[in-house]
Amino acid sequence: MSVRFWEPGKEFLRIEEEVMTTMRGVLTAGDLIMRQQMLDFEHNLASFVGTSDAVGVSNCTDGMRLLLEAVGIGPGDEVITVSHTFMATMAVIHQVGATPVLVDVGDDYNMDTDKLEAAVTSRTKAIMPVHLNGRLVRMDRVIEVAKAHNLLVLEDTAQALGGSYMGVNGGGWGLAGAFSFYPAKLLGAYGDAGAVVTSDAGLAERLRELRDHGRVSKTGFSGWGWNCRLDNLQAAILDLKLKKVPEWITQRRRLAAIYDEELADVGAVKRPPGPDGGPFFDIYQNYVIEADRRDALAAHLASRGIETLVSPGPVPNHKQPVGLDHFHLPRTEALCASVLSLPLNNELGEDQVLEVAGAIKDFYA
């Protein structure tokens, strides 16, 4: 492959010295489970997002599940979200015994907030907006609907670290937000990792108990809990990499602008919203186009050594065998047949973006 979709090995080699120094420090001190490095990362992540607390967890999926449990959502409750996301968003709602209620997405691939209010019933307890691809949902509208119906807002902000809308970061709008540090995310661990951010100190404390067996002291427990801790070694590495996130975001936005410019005249390609989107500050976790003859284009790019990704799709999440196929979501279903994520990662160069754009133009010429 001449242009890889993501390059975790290349990124490691560029920061190898710092990473190895950090790892050596953690390993020689024997600081393996919930030590100072994890507390430091939690503190720095909360400051970065603009919340009072961050709670490190094993991954974003566990974080969202603990969050639903912590706020008391369970059997009989409905939670509104989208199908156009990663499966985990819907799965956690199901796992706590509640029912996912799905709304369609709009032009920016995110929850169509005009369709939100119609999905509210007397059983609705929360809205889980998903900031897909690094762009925030119109959160002022979400908050408005939530206030009118007394609902909680819990953000799936797995793809939007550093992304903001009207000056407020993803994770800072609702009661809480869950981040993923899965390796392919903008801030990636060397394995699985996640965190939940909130400015509700009581909720943060409850999450800290739940992630560690319900433990409140060395020997005391507040009830049943889980083991969903963030590894201290991963936390130390994430803390180091967090400092590089602003630089990575700048680079991604620059590359997205080049894709935009290069693909502007290709009629068969619909580009994502641009980097200068008014109140939106998009961090481009993914650069996703809608493409005519998507599968043929992907095959053409592969033949040129360019890796792409279809996600979500080609089968929409609610059409997978998970008991949600009664939802009719025309925009989501159409998107799953046309979306294609182009290479965009922390190591990608301008010349590679030009190569990808050139290969797309050749295909449609």
Q: How far is CA 118 from CA 121, 122, 149, 289, in A?
A: 8, 12, 12, 29
In the DSSP assignment, the letter for residue 283 is -
Residue pair 339/290 in contact (Cβ under 8 Å)? The answer is yes
Q: By C-beta, is 190 or 364 nearer to ligand PLP?
A: 190
CB of 112 to ligand PLP, least distance (A): 17
Of 85-93, 164-172, 295-303, 314-322, the segment contacting ligand PLP by CB under 6 A is 85-93
Count of chain residues binding ligand PLP (CB under 6 A): 15
CB of 180 to ligand PLP, least distance (A): 3
Q: By C-beta, is 137 or 301 nearer to ligand PLP?
A: 137
CB of 302 to ligand PLP, least distance (A): 23
Q: Are strands 124-127 and 152-156 parallel, antiparallel or unpaired?
A: parallel
Among 6, 41, 86, 248, which residue sits at the site for ligand PLP (rule: CB under 6 A)? 86
Among 156, 282, 290, 347, which residue sits at the site for ligand PLP (rule: CB under 6 A)? 156
CB of 192 to ligand PLP, least distance (A): 6
Comparing CA positions, the residue from 134, 126, 102, 169 lying closest to residue 316 is: 102
CB of 319 to ligand PLP, least distance (A): 18
Q: Phi and psi of 85, rounded to 5°?
A: -160, -170
CB of 283 to ligand PLP, least distance (A): 13
Q: Which residues in the 272-301 window bind ligand PLP by CB under 6 A? A: none
What is the rounded CA–CA span in Å between residue 299 and residue 287? 18
Q: By C-beta, is 170 or 355 nearer to ligand PLP?
A: 170
CB of 184 to ligand PLP, least distance (A): 8
Per-residue mark of binding to ligand PLP, 175-214 (x: CB under 6 A): -----x-x---------x-x--------------------
CB of 222 to ligand PLP, least distance (A): 25
Q: By C-beta, is 48 or 179 nearer to ligand PLP?
A: 179
Among 49, 88, 298, 359, which residue sits at the site for ligand PLP (rule: CB under 6 A)? 88
What is the rounded CA–CA span in Å between residue 314 and residue 207? 35
Among 46, 158, 195, 357, which residue sits at the site for ligand PLP (rule: CB under 6 A)? 158
The CA-CA-CA angle for residues 242, 11, 345, to 5°, reads 80
Is 130 a binder of ligand PLP (CB under 6 A)?
yes
In the DSSP assignment, the letter for residue 130 is B
Q: How far is CA 84 from CA 90, 110, 133, in A?
A: 10, 8, 11
Q: By C-beta, is 156 or 209 nearer to ligand PLP?
A: 156
Is 110 a binder of ligand PLP (CB under 6 A)?
no
Q: Please tell me the chain's helix, strand, coil percentages from 3-state DSSP, rounded to the nearest 5.
A: 40, 20, 40
What is the rounded CA–CA span in Å between residue 186 and residue 134? 9
Of 53-61, 73-81, 101-109, 206-214, the segment contacting ligand PLP by CB under 6 A is 53-61
How many other CB atoms sit within 10 Å of the CB of residue 106?
Answer: 16
- Give the HSE-up count for residue 306: Cα atoms under 13 Å, Cβ half-sphere: 24
Comparing CA positions, the residue from 358, 150, 147, 164 lying closest to residue 253 is: 164
Question: Which residues bind to ligand PLP, rule: CB under 6 A?
Answer: 59-61, 85-86, 88-89, 130, 156, 158-159, 180, 182, 192, 194
